[in-house]
């Protein structure tokens, strides 16, 4: 079968790979669509991978099952949660799989076929197209939805999202759909325009001046109720703390290293709450599907769909920051 190999140095190629064989508790899925994720850019631009790829968002049709898996799954349309819990602990029983202490992350999904835990697949209704399905069950909607559960208070009226990459744009879509006033911040004019199309009420060009001052000005000097850090940069995180209103909340979406924060200055003296939000829980899928049924324009997060044979072009486009989610179509 064909599988994407991450060569590093901003290069990828399709290569021949061994056919995966599902083990106990696993399924083999014939890929219909896979999605590129911003978390993969480090490997794409850097040293690549010795084998396989970092793909972890995909949807397709179950082709085979391993030991202990119901054979009735074969032939079903599914999307996949890449983070699979052990299936036996208290957290897994509650559907909170990312809190399982024995969770496993499945990758290598940029391929004609891939393996996933049977306990981590979601059935896709026939009327959900592949493009929407891969976003509903992957990072594209999963991270923004899970984040929304952290800031569900009706007192939250204004949300600033600092970083309008794919995850930030997903945040714009979800928060606007929930009726919040959304302010998107980014350096890219293309991304700011995309944010407006997805529901942002205002945008701030981070290259044009003081972001904190701009956010304060747009909120009558008070600051947004919530600031979401979606760029994964220390300066953006510090801007979130400086801009958020007293008593407000800062949410971390962007992965990053150590950050110097003062308990007194950044938390205590202004009653600031900071929370992390990683991936999504398996048990949250029904609520995400319900949002889609309610009119959430999940498919609009995908700005480009290219055939798998054009993977190099897809990655180049994605890395240039002139795209939302980019999808690879494996149906050919």
The pLDDT score that the predictor gives to residue 315 is 97
CATH number of the domain within which 130 lies: 3.90.180.10
CATH number of the domain within which 237 lies: 3.40.50.720
The pLDDT score that the predictor gives to residue 276 is 96
Is 238 in the same domain as 195?
yes
Is 192 in the same domain as 290?
no
pLDDT digits (tens, 9 = 90+) for 187-216: 999 999 999 999 999 999 999 999 999 999
Q: What percent of the chain has pLDDT over 90?
A: 98
Which residue has 């690549």 as its token pair? 48
pLDDT digits (tens, 9 = 90+) for 294-312: 999 999 999 999 999 999 9
Q: What percent of the chain has pLDDT over 70?
A: 100
Find the radius of gyration of the CA atoms of the chain.
20
Is 129 in the same domain as 160?
no
Is 214 in the same domain as 256?
yes
Is 171 in the same domain as 91?
no
Whether 65 shows a pLDDT value over 80: the answer reads yes
Where residue 255 falls among pLDDT bands split at 50, 70, 90?
very high
Whether 219 shows a pLDDT value over 90: the answer reads yes
pLDDT (mean) for 248-256? 96
**Residue 163 contacts residue 229 (beta carbons within 8 Å):** yes
Distance CA 233, CA 261 (A): 14
Is 103 in the same domain as 223?
no
The pLDDT score that the predictor gives to residue 100 is 97
Is 308 in the same domain as 270?
no
Is 197 in the same domain as 166?
yes
Bridge partner residues of 181 (DSSP): 158
Where residue 332 falls among pLDDT bands split at 50, 70, 90?
confident
Rounded to the nearest integer, the mean pLDDT of the chain is 96
pLDDT (mean) for 257-283? 96
Residue ending a domain, among 276, 301, 316, is: 276
The pLDDT score that the predictor gives to residue 51 is 87
Number of domains in the chain: 2
Which residue has 């054009």 as its token pair? 310
Domain encompassing residue 48: 2-138+280-329
Q: What is the DSSP letter of 18?
A: P
Parallel/antiparallel/unpaired status of strands 113-117 and 26-35: antiparallel
Is 106 in the same domain as 89?
yes
pLDDT (mean) for 21-35? 98
Residue ending a domain, among 258, 276, 294, is: 276
pLDDT (mean) for 89-100? 95
**Among 331, 326, 332, 330, CA closest to 40:** 326
Is 129 in the same domain as 155?
no
pTM recorded for the entire structure: 0.95
**Residue 172 contacts residue 147 (beta carbons within 8 Å):** no
Is 258 in the same domain as 224?
yes
Bridge partner residues of 4 (DSSP): 14
pLDDT (mean) for 228-256? 97
The pLDDT score that the predictor gives to residue 165 is 95
The pLDDT score that the predictor gives to residue 60 is 98
Whether 221 shows a pLDDT value over 90: the answer reads yes
Tokens representing 330 are: 């494996």
Is 220 in the same domain as 297?
no
Whether 285 shows a pLDDT value over 90: the answer reads yes
Where residue 50 falls among pLDDT bands split at 50, 70, 90?
confident
pLDDT (mean) for 158-171? 97
């Amino acid at each position: 079968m064909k599988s994407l190999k991450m060569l590093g140095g901003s290069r990828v190629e399709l290569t021949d790979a061994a056919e995966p064989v599902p083990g106990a508790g696993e399924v083999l899925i014939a890929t219909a669509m896979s999605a590129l994720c911003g978390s993969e850019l480090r490997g794409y631009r850097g040293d690549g991978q010795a084998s396989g790829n970092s793909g972890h968002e995909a949807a397709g049709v179950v082709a085979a099952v391993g030991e202990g898996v119901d054979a009735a799954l074969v032939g079903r349309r599914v999307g996949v949660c890449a983070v699979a819990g052990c299936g036996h602990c208290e957290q897994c029983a509650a559907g909170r799989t990312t809190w399982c202490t024995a969770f496993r992350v499945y990758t290598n999904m940029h391929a004609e076929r891939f393996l996933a835990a049977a306990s981590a697949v979601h059935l896709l209704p026939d009327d959900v197209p592949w493009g929407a399905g891969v976003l509903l069950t992957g990072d594209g909607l999963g991270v923004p939805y899970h984040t929304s559960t952290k800031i569900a208070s009706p007192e939250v009226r204004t949300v600033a999202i600092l970083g309008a990459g794919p995850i930030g744009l997903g945040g714009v879509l979800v928060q606007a759909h929930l009726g919040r006033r959304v302010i998107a911040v980014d350096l890219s004019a293309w991304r700011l325009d995309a944010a407006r199309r997805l529901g942002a009420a205002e945008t701030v060009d981070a290259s044009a001046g003081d972001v904190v001052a701009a956010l304060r000005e747009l909120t009558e000097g008070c600051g947004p109720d919530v600031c979401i850090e979606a760029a994964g940069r220390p300066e953006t995180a510090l801007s979130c703390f400086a801009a958020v209103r007293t008593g407000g909340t800062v949410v971390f979406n962007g992965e990053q290293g150590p950050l110097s924060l003062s308990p007194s200055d950044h938390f205590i003296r202004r009653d600031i709450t900071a929370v992390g939000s990683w991936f999504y829980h398996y048990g949250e899928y029904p609520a995400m599907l319900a949002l889609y049924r309610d009119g959430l324009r999940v498919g609009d997060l995908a700005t480009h769909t290219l055939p798998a044979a054009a993977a190099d072009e897809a990655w180049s486009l994605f890395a240039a920051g002139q795209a939302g989610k980019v999808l690879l179509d494996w149906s050919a």
